Amino acid sequence: MTVKRICLASDVPTNEMREFTTDGGDKLLVANSGGEYFAVQAICPHQDVPLCDGFYDGCVLTCHQHLWQWDIKTGEPVGGIAEAPLERFAVFVEGGEVFVGTRGALNVGELFSGLSESTLSKLQGLAKAEEHPAGGALYQAGDPADDFFVLDSGRIEFQIGRDERTSPAGFMLRKGEVFGWAALLDAHPTRIASARVLEPSRVLRINGKQALAVLEADPASGYLAMRRLAGLIARFLAAPGAR
């Protein structure tokens, strides 16, 4: 984790928020919730809208454009409209100054953010970081589904069907998005889609069986991860009428 100084604690009054740009040029939003500081991505994951223009009551952050809402402490969607969590950053306050550390893709991810620290670090231990050039394939339909993937950067596209008869089945481009999750399901031995690398991409590769063993050993975290997995699958099921 790289840690950067962002601002003075007094720059962000109680129950208010401010946008800052790091010396690396990244924008992030620092929010003060009753004296506790949180840092999240500065731009709404829906459309390119600055969240600092939104509403913040000290607990819930609302984008003013379409009312996507999040719990500032967890980055999780609330209010029933937001379809994606916010990327959160680790925050340290020392000597009246706010420092922010970037989180790895696993902590950002839609499956694992908010899991216990020990379980997260075990999963991190299972994760192999891989870099793939554009044009390659991570897996093909019909391949054994042993591993799942967490996107760190880049863009992965999916195709269903085989040989001549394939059709596009979506794409992933957000840090923390999880794909190849068949590896986390019982009795699901093969890939139903193929995954192609569209832009140079960094991914974390994690063995499904080993990850399940880690999650089983920490049922609270495991339950949260499985609940999120169910939601993830439902998001793709909720697109009926494939032609």
Q: Which of residues 187 and 239 has its CB atom nearest to other proteins in the complex?
A: 239
Distance set, CA 178 to CA 18, 45, 172, 237 (Å):
30, 16, 8, 16
187/237 with CB nearer other proteins: 237
Distances, alpha carbon 67 to alpha carbons 18, 70, 80, 120, 178, in Å: 19, 10, 10, 31, 25
Binding residues for other proteins, per CB under 8 A?
47, 55, 57, 62, 64-69, 79-81, 83, 167-173, 235-236, 238-243
**Nearest-approach distance from CB 14 to other proteins, in angstroms:** 15
Cβ atoms < 10 Å from Cβ of 181: 17
Closest separation between CB of residue 221 and other proteins, Å?
A: 27
Q: How far is the CB of 105 from other proteins (least distance, A)?
A: 18
Closer CB to other proteins, 89 or 177, in the complex: 177
Smallest distance from other proteins to CB 6, Å: 26
The string of DSSP letters for 108-175 reads HSTTTTTS-HHHHHHHHHH-EEEEE-TT-EEE-TTSB--EEEEEEEEEEEEEEEETTEEEEEEEE-ST
Neighbours of 43 (CB within 10 A): 18
* Cα angle 43, 204, 116; round to 5: 75
Rank residues 96 and 240 by Cβ distance to other proteins and give the closer one: 240
Instruction: CB nearer to other proteins: give 5 or 235.
Output: 235
CA distance 116 to 85: 18
Q: How far is the CB of 216 from other proteins (least distance, A)?
A: 29
- Of 128 and 235, nearer to other proteins (C-beta) is 235
CB 29 within 8 A of CB 12: no
CB of 161 to other proteins, least distance (A): 11
Distance CA(192)–CA(92), nearest Å, equals 43
> In angstroms, rounded to a whole number, what is the distance separating the alpha carbons of residues 94 and 169?
47
Q: What's the closest the beta carbon of residue 59 comes to other proteins, in angstroms? A: 11
Q: Are 54 and 64 in contact (CB under 8 A)?
A: yes
Of 65 and 210, nearer to other proteins (C-beta) is 65
